[in-house]
Amino acid sequence: MDRRAFLGASIGALAFGTLRGQPSQAQSALPELQPAADPYARLQGGTPHHLTPDQEAQRVVDSPAPTGPPGGWISRAALPIPRSEMAWAAVTAEQMHIVGGYGEGAVNRAYHHIYNPAADRWYEGAALPRGANHVAVAADAGRVYAFGGFIEQNRRSDTNAYIYDVATNGWTSIAPLPRPRGAAAAVVLNGSIHLIGGASEPASERASVGWHEVYDPQTDCWSARKPLPGARDHVGCVAHAGAIHVIGGRFNTFEYNTDLHHIYLPDRDTWETRALMPTARSGHGLVVYHNRLFAMGGEGGILTGGVPRQAKVFGQMESYDPANDTWQHHAPMPTPRHAVGAVTIGDWIYVAGGGAVLGGSVQSAVHEAFTLG
């Protein structure tokens, strides 16, 4: 079956059950996974790890934004293994999908973990057809899309693109990216998937890009849109009220984090600026919750000869109000992390996994949820 025929058939197959928030027969039969016994693991060898006092000192939670309602955090079932650098997460059928990343001593994992918040349990979905980190993911109409990624540690990107069918628990290749990149942002707007920013080749440079390309699931084709002002990767990106917000990120490395906030207006194919994020950071989560944009986690530091200094792992929870273009802060994450999987389901924000220290050396299985109550 060609790609276009598959996409048309999948829409019909998903017309019932999964689109109404009910797990399909295939999904309900997925293997259940037990939470990790250890919250942290070193990438080198995948061995359990206990944070040192110096590593715990990297945690930063203070925000310069005005105080908002604090809300509260609770612990949820830990990820099946400590992992990070997944490049965010996606929601379909009221369940969170986390794809790829670092874990168990390797950077090119094909993991696909699915979290059911109603049961507080993790399941194993079909593995990504090839392992990678910083894979951009988005979900729409009972399908999960996965774009690009790095096959080495935060570098050497590819053009692979796949679609996951919840009803059959299987991945299928779709039209490849026009250009290779990893650590891009994928977001659904009006039935199409916008792929924005990221970093590309050559691997020795790993330079940020401002590319803005759109995938049409109906035609299995890509088209170009106006590039993101200020090429960057590891951004936070969401769609809200018919527009796309791109917030924060980095210029090439976490040494050059930014607080930039751009909004894409599709009717005019243009970008405008909005109020800066109070805490400049990259590798943070960004979700829509209570008609606000909530940003949590991230990292920053300075590299000297490849060795990080002034290392920071952020726990700030800051939210943006699109109605009045202002920010405020809330109760910080109990466990600061970067490169997390973050989604909104119901009245909760779920934040799973992520790096516990600056860079990719220590993964986390920590899973915490936030609510304003």
What would the two tokens of residue 334 be?
């109990």
pLDDT at 54 over 60: yes
**How far from the centroid of its chain's Cα atoms is residue 335's Cα?**
17
The residue type of 221 is C
Which of 339, 235, 337, 240 minimizes the C-alpha distance to 288? 240
Cβ-proximal residues to 267 (8 Å cutoff; 6+ apart), any chain? none
pLDDT in tens, 93-148: 999 999 999 999 999 999 999 999 999 999 999 999 999 999 999 999 999 999 99
Angstrom distance (rounded) from CA 17 to CA 192: 22
Predicted confidence at residue 220, as pLDDT, reads 98
pLDDT at 318 over 70: yes
Predicted confidence at residue 295, as pLDDT, reads 98
Q: Which residue, chain included where needed, has tokens 């943006």?
A: 320
Predicted confidence at residue 309, as pLDDT, reads 82
Express as a percent the part of the chain with pLDDT over 90.
87
Residue 75: strand, helix, or coil? strand
The residue type of 330 is H
pLDDT at 306 over 80: no
Predicted confidence at residue 340, as pLDDT, reads 97
Predicted confidence at residue 3, as pLDDT, reads 47
- Between 250 and 24, name the one with better pLDDT: 250
Q: pLDDT band at residue 27, thresholds of 50, 70 and 90?
A: low
Predicted confidence at residue 304, as pLDDT, reads 78
- The domain in which residue 244 lies consists of 3-371
pLDDT in tens, 178-232: 999 999 999 999 999 999 999 999 988 899 999 999 999 999 999 999 999 999 9
Predicted confidence at residue 18, as pLDDT, reads 34
pLDDT at 10 over 90: no
Provide the domain count of the chain.
1
Does 229 sit behind a cis peptide bond, omega within 30 degrees of 0 on the bond before it?
no
Q: pLDDT band at residue 26, thresholds of 50, 70 and 90?
A: low
Angstrom distance (rounded) from CA 114 to CA 156: 27
Predicted confidence at residue 88, as pLDDT, reads 83
CATH number, position 166 = 2.120.10.80
Angstrom distance (rounded) from CA 156 to CA 201: 7
Pairing label, strands 307-314, 59-60: parallel
pLDDT at 28 over 80: no
Q: Which helix (H) or strand (E) holds 122?
A: strand 121-124
The chain-wide mean pLDDT, for the chain, equals 92
Angstrom distance (rounded) from CA 278 to CA 217: 36
Predicted confidence at residue 9, as pLDDT, reads 42
Residue 199: strand, helix, or coil? strand
Angstrom distance (rounded) from CA 270 to CA 259: 20
pLDDT in tens, 74-90: 999 999 999 999 978 99
The residue type of 301 is G
Q: pLDDT band at residue 308, thresholds of 50, 70 and 90?
A: confident
State pTM to two decimals.
0.92
pLDDT at 303 over 80: no
Rounded mean pLDDT, 248-259:
95
pLDDT at 8 over 80: no
- Identify the burial level of 229 via C-beta atoms within 10 angstroms of its C-beta, where 0-12 means exposed, 13-18 middle and 19 or more buried: middle
Angstrom distance (rounded) from CA 335 to CA 96: 20
What would the two tokens of residue 269 be?
């194919």
- Between 46 and 278, name the one with better pLDDT: 278
